[in-house]
Amino acid sequence: MASRNKSLLVVIVHLLVVFTAIMIPACAQLTTDFYEKSCPQALGLIRSAVARAINRESRMGASLLRLHFHDCFVNGCDGSILLDDTDTFTGEKTAIPNLNSVRGFDVVDEIKSTLNEKCKGNVVSCADILAVASRDSVDLLGGTSYEVLLGRRDARTASFNDANTNLPTPFFSSSQLVSIFESHGLKLKDLVVLSGGHTLGLARCVNFRTRIYNETNIDSNFKASRQKICPATGGDDNTTALDGTTPAKFDTAYFKGLIGSKGLLHSDQELFKGDGGESDSLVQYYNNNPKKFYKDFGDSMIKMGNMNVLTGNDGEIRMNCRKVNN
């Protein structure tokens, strides 16, 4: 009888192990100490490189954050956005949401080259570089740090078509924004808090011209000042701060601007309509609670950074972030 009970217990334990393995998502394979043995200096090297890049150009912090976001929203956080086009391959860089928009590729190249040398081999993935560099950008520009889970591997392909369909645009409505975030497993709270990343960086005239000339839910003084920067025709590449005031400081100016009808992009102002909805409440909450914004931003970045990652034997670790290994 005892032997039978013991056998039954073994079967139950085995089933629990199998069930647990099925239920735990791929991101569970990521760890905070992934490079502790293979290259313990990796995170410090990335941070130093990001700091140098931001010192050269304060806008670069926003660019690195944007790279990670645009990478993750197209088939997961796999470094696919970094792949250059070739004669036989069209990647994501020239897709409409990325063309003349995403930048910072040279900084990623610099980081990867340094890591390959200092780690004595091809150890750190390009996808992990993007995740860590975006975190360090936020921290260095006034936000707070958060622990990035590591161990992503790089994709061997990219999708021009998916980049055109899976990324939100500056012209999206609130329902479109909610829908595309939900399709990636992200909630309204994640949408609002991650949109707060627009507290950093600049936007091109071509992306906010329609708002400042055709929309009515916009502060008149803000509208007039932006029309001086962005004429009705021409000047597509003229830029201004996304949050209206402090493009190189991670703060809550973005949310304050939305409450005052000073959202630069149509998609930004869609998050605050003044109707007392849940999105309005979240914007007001983060405007009044900077520390909660910093904390929740980190939490949502971790959540986003774990979307559809490649781990184990999937994908590869690229020697050069711009092309797949031979």
* Tens-digit pLDDT profile for residues 132-143: 999 999 999 999
- Does domain 187-303 match CATH 3.40.190.10? no
Instruction: Supply the pLDDT for residue 28.
Output: 46
Bridge partners of 247, per DSSP, are: none
Q: How many CB atoms lie within 10 A of CB 268?
A: 24
Q: Where in the chain is the domain with CATH 1.10.420.10?
A: 187-303
pTM for the model: 0.89
Residue 47 has phi, psi (to 5 degrees) of -60, -45
Instruction: Supply the pLDDT for residue 20.
Output: 39
**Helix (H, G, I), strand (E, B), or coil: what is residue 258?**
helix
- Determine contact, residues 317/153, Cβ cutoff 8 Å: yes
Bridge partners of 202, per DSSP, are: 241
Cα separation values, 226 from 211, 243, 244, 256, 308, Å: 10, 12, 9, 17, 39
Q: Active-site residue among 14, 68, 70, 198?
A: 70
Region of 302 please: left (phi>0), alpha (psi -120 to 50) or beta: alpha
Task: Using pLDDT thresholds of 50, 70 and 90, give the confidence band for residue 8.
Answer: very low
* Cα distance between residue 254 and residue 52, in whole Å: 26
DSSP state of 148: P
**Least confident span in 15-24, 69-78, 84-93, 183-192:** 15-24
- Determine contact, residues 84/93, Cβ cutoff 8 Å: yes
Q: Which of 243, 242, 212 minimizes the C-alpha distance to 226?
A: 212
Q: Which of 309, 307, 282, 281 minimizes the C-alpha distance to 293?
A: 282
pLDDT tens for each residue of 110-162 = 999 999 999 999 999 999 999 999 999 999 999 999 999 999 999 999 999 99
- Active-site residue flag, 70: yes
Task: Using pLDDT thresholds of 50, 70 and 90, give the confidence band for residue 89.
Answer: confident
* Cα distance between residue 190 and residue 199, in whole Å: 15
Q: Where in the chain is the domain with CATH 1.10.520.10?
A: 42-167
- The CATH number given to 42-167 is 1.10.520.10
